[in-house]
Amino acid sequence: MSNLIEIIHPFQIKDVKSINEYLLILKNIINIISKKGCTEKPLGISIPVRWSILYNDFVVDFGSGKQRDILGISLNNLSLHYNEKTEVFNSIVNILTKLKNSSNSHILFEQYNLKKNENRFFNFVAYEEIVYITGLYNRCQNSKRKGLFSNKRKMSTLIDNSIDFLKKVQKELKFIVIPRNFVLEKSSVIIYSEFFKELEKTQITVKENKYTEKILFLNEYLNKDFKKSKIGIKKYKKILLKEEHISDDVMLWFLIYHITLLFNHEIIKNLNCSKTKNIVMYDNISNEFIKIVSDFSIKLKDNEEKLNDPLLPVSF
């Protein structure tokens, strides 16, 4: 629902030109998670809430240039923007009502300067009746709205999502749930080594043309120079399922997506929890939220399809 907080895949961190370059990016991700841990990415709808001086009330603001967001979506005008039968309508009602009924919510918004600064917002994630909190953020300026300057043209920047901070917020807002934090059970060196060994023995059968197939031995491509035609995840899926044939000009990005899933699978299986599928880590140097997911959710036509084991680990 909201693109106000951008969470990217590892392959979106920079313009990847080779597999070796990408492996360095992945190694750095392991090092960051090893030092700082990671957080479960909760299921649900992202609901950013700020204070409205105009309405003197809590409002939802998805950060767009539309008047509904510039003015703010309140309980009083919500029905003008969303159908009452939709999930987003019910999620907004749930969160705004709980904020209104919480005796300490006004103190909290004053304490963290939300009542004076309408660019600051708490991000909640609504899943059925559960309300998670992911942190406190600052909206960035764009052509239609004022905000904090971002040289990367971000829509928002993180202020605080530390566990100590979230616990302070939870103390005032009893209804919120803090996403679980995880750590790696092995050292970064061991995990990368195991991941690389998996790469070296990986074989992928694809269609070379309409009539023949070939086996890609991944270790043969690690140091190879490629043409750089980028493809989307849908194209990757079709090639993997042999619905389309592969060609040299798409080989790099086909392998990048495949390596990403192998890498994600390796990270997730080495966490100190066996029941999570999607995690998020924050790199404060690049100011990026990076998601590690167990599968790519891909929409083809009107049906959502997923690639799962054993085709390869296989997301959001």
Specify whether 70 is located in the same domain as 132: yes
Q: What range defines the domain where residue 167 resides?
A: 45-178
Mean pLDDT value across residues 137-145:
88
Mean pLDDT value across residues 207-219:
92
Residue 1 domain flag: no
Residue 281 domain flag: no
Contact in structure between 251 and 197 (CB atoms under 8 Å): no
Amino acid at 47: I
pTM for the structure as a whole: 0.86
Q: Is 310 a residue whose pLDDT tops 70?
A: no
Q: How confident is the model at residue 224 (pLDDT cuts 50, 70, 90)?
A: confident
Specify whether 213 is located in the same domain as 241: yes
Specify whether 50 is located in the same domain as 169: yes
Q: How confident is the model at residue 300 (pLDDT cuts 50, 70, 90)?
A: very low
Domain stop point among 146, 178, 210: 178
Specify whether 196 is located in the same domain as 173: no
- Distance, in Å, from the CA atom of 269 to the CA atom of 253, rounded to the nearest integer, reads 24
Residue 226 domain flag: yes
Specify whether 152 is located in the same domain as 198: no
Whole-angstrom CA distances from 297 to 9, 87, 88, 140, 308 are 13, 20, 20, 29, 10
232-278: pLDDT as tens digits: 999 999 999 999 999 989 999 999 999 999 999 999 999 998 788 89
Cis peptide bond N-terminal to 310, omega within 30: yes
Specify whether 77 is located in the same domain as 23: no
Residue 257 domain flag: yes
Question: What dihedral do alpha carbons 32, 38, 42, 48 form, nearest 10°?
Answer: -60
Q: Is 70 a residue whose pLDDT tops 70?
A: yes
Q: Is 312 a residue whose pLDDT tops 70?
A: no
Specify whether 146 is located in the same domain as 234: no
Domain stop point among 121, 149, 178: 178
Residue 282 domain flag: no
- Distance, in Å, from the CA atom of 314 to the CA atom of 55, rounded to the nearest integer, reads 46
Specify whether 134 is located in the same domain as 188: no
pLDDT at 191: 97
Residue 31 domain flag: yes
How many domains is the chain built from?
A: 2
- Distance, in Å, from the CA atom of 274 to the CA atom of 284, rounded to the nearest integer, reads 27
Contact in structure between 300 and 243 (CB atoms under 8 Å): no
Q: Name, in order, each residue with C-beta under 8 angstroms of 127's C-beta and a sequence gap of 6 or more.
A: 42, 43, 44, 45
- Distance, in Å, from the CA atom of 73 to the CA atom of 142, rounded to the nearest integer, reads 20
Specify whether 146 is located in the same domain as 246: no
Residue 2 domain flag: no
Domain stop point among 178, 203, 224: 178
Residue 22 domain flag: yes
